[in-house]
Chains A and B, each alone.
Chain A
Amino acid sequence: MKFSEDMVNAYADGELQGSEKTEFEAALLNDSELQHMLDEVLQLKSVLCNAYKDIEEPVQRQSPVVNYRVASYIGLFLLAFSGGWLSDSFVNSTNTASTQLNIATQMASSDSAALNKYILHIGTHDNEKFKRALDEAEALLVKYQNTKPVIELEVIANAGGLDLFRENATQYSERVKRISQVYPNIRFIACSNAIERLREKGIEPNLINTVHQGPTALDQVVMRMNEGWSYIKI
């Protein structure tokens, strides 16, 4: 029986089963051309694996999960007992006008708001989204300003979203400053990767002075989620 190249590949990749595999192995014993084809595929698989196996990320970061494990377990228990966090801690703020400013309302009726801690994430340069992020943040702060526990809110920006936190990059610079001054329990955080990318392009980020430089946006979001915070994607 003549085996196709696809069959040789399939055997090398462990995809042949049952009789197909048995027949292939029987043919291998006496067919030097087939052996040669298989050797070539196996060698190629091996050199491909080796070429990429030692690759590491450009920046090795300390995993925030380890540092915050204890806090996450405490959060887990609180949330498990409150009955929340299971379906409501991830909220996607969509683009439609009808859903604008409704995060606060959603959260008000949700048990996941038990901790009263929210992280808003913005990752694209979009004036409409910038406005919505600030509107959502203010709506949450106003709604929960007198509730216990005290609301904590972080707005994190990466990639194109970083422009929201740069002096004179958008029309919202003054509003970001004002919100920082009026509400002590909000933190604006800039992703370190996004800052680094700008500097690599020779652009100084020139962050608004009330904005904090954090770790990467991903690290911050994972850390907060492990602590039980609610994640809101703008």
Chain B
Amino acid sequence: MNVFKLACRKVALVKRIEQSRSKLYRMALAWCHDPMLADDLVQEALMLALQKIHQLNNDAAFNGWIYTILNNVWLGYLRKSRPTEDIDNIVVADSASPEHEMLMVQIDFVVRSAMAGLPNAQRQVVSLVDLDGLSYSEVADILQLPIGTVMSRLNRARKALSSSIIKNRALYQNLSSSTDKNNFDQKKLRVVK
């Protein structure tokens, strides 16, 4: 009977791993801000999870376990792609292009842009806490940090996000009002012609 129970557990775990794909993708995107890269990171993480499934002894620890794997894959990617940079300080996007400014027509873009501008160490903490509601101790386990560090990074991340969002929204509002003015001027010119 125990054998049967263990086999059932394994089937359930494989299914749970597969069902984690969407939430891992959301987290990976919040970390790397590149849809294709996020997809690759998640695939790699899920493959590793399937390979290491026997290491998960406590089903209640599933969330922490799977995010730890994703974090290791992400850090591995950063180490490989940017070997000379301090991983904690890596930012993943430059929001200075005009195209990007035009894209910021909605608050979601403003928020994602602000997230992309955070150093990696802060971005990971705030996304784990706010996007998936993980506790500080779970985040500390996943990222291998003391809880005090989790709290201080979270505080710094939130302050930086708030100021960046306020700044970018103001920028967008100016941009949008100047675009409206240009449209208005063009209309007037057409009428004059």
Enumerate chain A interface residues (CB-CB to B < 8 A).
Answer: 5-6, 9-10, 13-15, 40-41, 44-45, 47-53, 55-59, 63, 65, 72, 76, 79-80, 83, 85-87, 90, 92, 121, 123, 158-159, 193, 197, 200, 216-218, 221-222, 225-226, 231, 233
Contacts and interface: CB of A to CB of B under 8 A. Distances in A.
- Tell me if B's interface is mostly helix, strand, loop or mixed: helix
Give 5 closest A-B pairs by Cβ, nearest first.
Answer: A51-B111, A51-B108, A80-B7, A48-B130, A80-B4
A196 B21 CA distance: 19
A121 B111 contact: no
B143 interface: no
Contacts, number: 129
Interface in B141-171: 151-152, 154-155, 158-159, 161-162, 165
9 contacts: A9-B151, A13-B154, A44-B130, A48-B115, A48-B161, A53-B26, A58-B35, A80-B7, A218-B43
B111 A47 contact: yes
B136 A10 contact: yes
Contacts of A58: 35-36, 39
A193 B46 CA distance: 14
Contact of A218 (B47, B155, B162): B47
Nearest to B151: A6
A226 B136 contact: no
Given A45-B130, A218-B46, A76 B39 contact: no
Interface residue tally on B, bucketed by range = 35 or more
B18 to A, nearest CB: 5
Interface of B: 3-4, 6-8, 10-11, 14-15, 17-18, 21-22, 25-26, 29-30, 35-36, 39-40, 42-44, 46-47, 50-54, 107-108, 111-112, 115, 126-127, 129-131, 135-136, 151-152, 154-155, 158-159, 161-162, 165
A14 B135 CA distance: 8
A233 B44 CA distance: 12
B7 A76 contact: yes
A52 B3 CA distance: 41
A52 B51 contact: no
Contact of A76 (B8, B50, B129): B8
Contact of B3 (A41, A45, A86, A222): A86
Contacts of A231: 50-51
Contacts of B30: 52
Contacts of A41: 158
A77 B47 CA distance: 25
A222 B13 CA distance: 11
A193 B131 CA distance: 26
A87 B7 CA distance: 10
B10 to A, nearest CB: 7
A5 B159 CA distance: 10
B47 to A, nearest CB: 6
A53 B18 CA distance: 19
Contacts of A49: 130-131
B78 to A, nearest CB: 17
Contacts of A86: 3, 6-7, 10
B18 A63 contact: yes
Given A159-B40, A226-B11, A9 B161 contact: no
A55 B43 contact: no
Given A15-B136, A52-B29, A225 B39 contact: no
Given A15-B136, A58-B36, A226-B14, 11 more contacts: A6-B151, A44-B130, A44-B165, A48-B111, A48-B126, A51-B115, A52-B29, A53-B26, A80-B4, A86-B3, A222-B50
Instruction: Tell me which of B3, B11, B44, B162 has the highest count of chain A C-beta atoms within 10 A of its own C-beta.
Output: B11
A216 B179 CA distance: 44
A47 B108 CA distance: 8
Contacts of B4: 80
B166 to A, nearest CB: 11
B43 A216 contact: yes
